[in-house]
Each structure stands twice: as C-alpha cells, then as structure tokens.
C-alpha cells in the first residue's frame, strides 16, 4: 500500500499519532486543539536479583482514564472515540490509529516505547467484527510498528497485545490493543530462546494434524496447546519458520489476521455473554530473528459461564499453572463454534 495510506502527525503534547487507512489519499491533518503539557514520561526499570527479572515502576499510570460510562451521552469521555474535544484522535473518523500512550509504562529514561492501537472508530465493534479490508490495514499497521520500533537502539523486543474485558483489567471498552517496545528481553522470551533449536517448528509438526486443532488456513494453524495453562487457550502459528510479521508477504499477513479474527470470534461465542480475553503477538527479538518463530496467542480466564479462573497463590507464587479444563475438550468446543 502506498505511503499516502499512512499519515504521521503530532498531538498537542508532542506525542506521535499515526493514521493507517484502508485506502490512500484521506485528509488526516485535523489539529489536536487540547492544551496539554509536554509529554515527559518517567517510568523506571528495576532489576530483581532474586528472580533475575526486570520490573517496571510506572506510578504516573494511577491517573489514567478508567472505564468511562458506556451510554451514548458519555461517549465524549472515551479518549479513543474520534473528533470530540478530549479525544486522543482529532480526526472526525479513522480506520486504524496508533499513538504514543499518554500514560506509558515505558519510555523516557527507562527506554522503549508504549503505543495504543485503535482498530476502528466504532466504539461498539470487536476485533472479530472487522471486515477484510480493515484486517489488512491492521496487519499493515502491526508490521509497520514491528519494523520501526524494532530498529530503535533502545528496544530489545516488540510485543503487540490486547486486553478485552474489565474482568482482566482493561480500562477502556473501545476496541483497541497496545504495543510495548521493551528495552529488555521479557522472561518468557528468554526462556524460549534458551532452548536448543526452534521448539515451535517441532510443536507445529506434531499439532497440525492432531485433535487439538481449532482452525487452519494454507499457511497457518490454530490449536489448543498440549499443556494449556488457561481454560480456553489457542496458539496461532505459521506452518513454516517465520521470525515476525515483517517477514510475511502482504497476502500471508492478511491470511494470518483473518485466522486470528476467526479465533477471536470463536472465543466470543463460547457463552451467552461477552467473554474477556487476552491476546499477544510473540515475535523475534531484533537480536535473535534467526532463532525465533512467530506466534500469536489468545486465552480467557472464563472457565464456565459464571466462573473465572483466578491466578491465586500457587500460580503467582510459584509460576506453576493449574488448569480446570482438559485441552482436548476445549479444542473440540472451540472447533464446533
């Protein structure tokens, strides 16, 4: 897609906002008229010598916007709805918008960067509702940010994710995700890289024809992992070794995003109410593109229609997960949906 479908502008406090459009040539020059002080994030990255892991301290996030009312009269309180005086997106409408987080966990002296990804200007939509042309725009936006952020000297890993539902801590209901460009390798990535060879290549070879497959396309397969940690958990993996979204061609990226939306739709139909979920895109760190295999993951703590799985003392204290749902049963149910 031509660069005319990507427009970078500045918000009133100096943060970057990027519009990614389904079609080129749209005017995205509407100014941000808010009176905001300059953005000067001050998070800290501290190291825990006991576990050998980093911890981010970001006390300024206590003041971020929290669950504005859902009624139409209160939409002006949603910072992701476009065009109103307090919006983070000054245009009257948008397709996909990505901007630097006003309340970031990373950035400044800590290094890295945090961005918010708005998938649509429709407050009531879900990712699974997006039409094919919008999924293609999301794929292009994810690829752009992976490439650009991964090239920064203060970034070691780019992680794209979505939290959906107040039950798991999402503070805004507008359909959106986030991008954390970490200045260090996260613990899970370090553990995967410490293994010999590409474990995911072996896993895909085993799972691609097994009973835990939920959905598939020519180039990608979605399955419940053999040792699933969550009641309903699906991994979406390329059939061949691919390090990140940047390495995919546009047709393959669009195909992957369609399968991802398919899986999210199946999660949405699990029960008669909205299902909270977490989703993340695991990509090769810039320092290890030859040893990493791209994969996406979707999981929910909703173990029955009226019960959630909580990470209590055992899981949080030891890191040892206990799952109440047999992975094969979860796969069969998701496959049938």
> What is residue 160's three-state secondary structure?
strand
CA distance 192 to 334: 27
> What is residue 60's three-state secondary structure?
helix
CA distance 337 to 325: 17
Are 194 and 187 contacting, i.e. CB atoms less than 8 angstroms apart?
Answer: no
What's the residue count for the chain? Answer: 337
CA distance 198 to 221: 17
What's the token pair of residue 270? 């699990």
Short-list 201, 187, 182, 225, CA closest to 294: 201
The set of catalytic residues is 176
Residue carrying the six token digits 């699974």: 128
Q: Which residues pair with 298 in a beta bridge?
A: 234, 279
Are 92 and 30 contacting, i.e. CB atoms less than 8 angstroms apart?
Answer: yes
CA distance 220 to 206: 14
Short-list 124, 152, 140, CA closest to 254: 140
Short-list 148, 321, 159, CA closest to 233: 321
- Our measurement of the distance from residue 95's CA atom to the centroid of its chain's CA atoms, rounded to an integer in Å, reads 17
Short-list 96, 79, 125, 87, CA closest to 26: 96
């Amino acid at each position: 897609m031509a660069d005319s479908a990507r427009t970078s502008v500045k918000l009133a406090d100096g943060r970057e906002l990027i519009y990614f459009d389904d079609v080129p040539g749209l005017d995205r020059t509407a100014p941000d008229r808010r009176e905001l002080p300059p953005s000067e994030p001050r998070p800290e990255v501290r190291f825990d010598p006991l576990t050998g892991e980093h911890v981010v301290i970001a006390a300024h996030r206590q003041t971020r916007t929290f669950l504005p009312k859902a009624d139409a009269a209160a939409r002006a309180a949603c910072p992701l709805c476009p065009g109103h005086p307090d919006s983070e997106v000054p245009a009257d409408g948008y397709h996909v918008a990505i901007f630097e987080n006003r309340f970031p966990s990373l950035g400044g002296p800590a290094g890295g960067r945090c961005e918010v990804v708005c998938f649509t200007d429709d407050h009531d939509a879900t990712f699974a509702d997006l039409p094919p042309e919008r999924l293609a725009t999301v794929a292009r936006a994810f690829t752009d940010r992976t490439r650009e952020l991964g090239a920064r000297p203060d970034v070691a890993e780019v992680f794209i994710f979505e939290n959906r539902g107040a039950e798991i801590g999402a503070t805004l209901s507008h359909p959106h995700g986030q991008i954390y460009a970490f200045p260090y390798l996260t613990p899970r990535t370090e553990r995967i890289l410490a293994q010999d060879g590409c474990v995911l290549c072996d896993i895909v070879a085993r799972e691609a024809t097994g009973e835990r497959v939920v959905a598939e396309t020519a180039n990608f397969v979605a399955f419940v992992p053999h040792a699933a940690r969550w009641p309903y958990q699906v991994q979406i993996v390329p059939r061949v070794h691919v390090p990140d979204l940047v390495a995919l061609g546009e047709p393959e990226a669009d195909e992957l995003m369609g399968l991802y939306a398919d899986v999210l739709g199946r999660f949405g139909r699990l029960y008669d109410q909205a299902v909270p979920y977490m989703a993340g895109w695991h990509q090769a760190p810039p320092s290890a593109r030859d040893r990493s295999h791209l994969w996406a993951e979707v999981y929910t703590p909703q173990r029955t229609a009226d019960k959630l799985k909580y990470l209590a003392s055992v899981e949080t204290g030891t890191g040892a997960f206990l799952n109440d749902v047999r992975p094969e049963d979860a796969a069969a149910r998701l496959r049938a949906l």
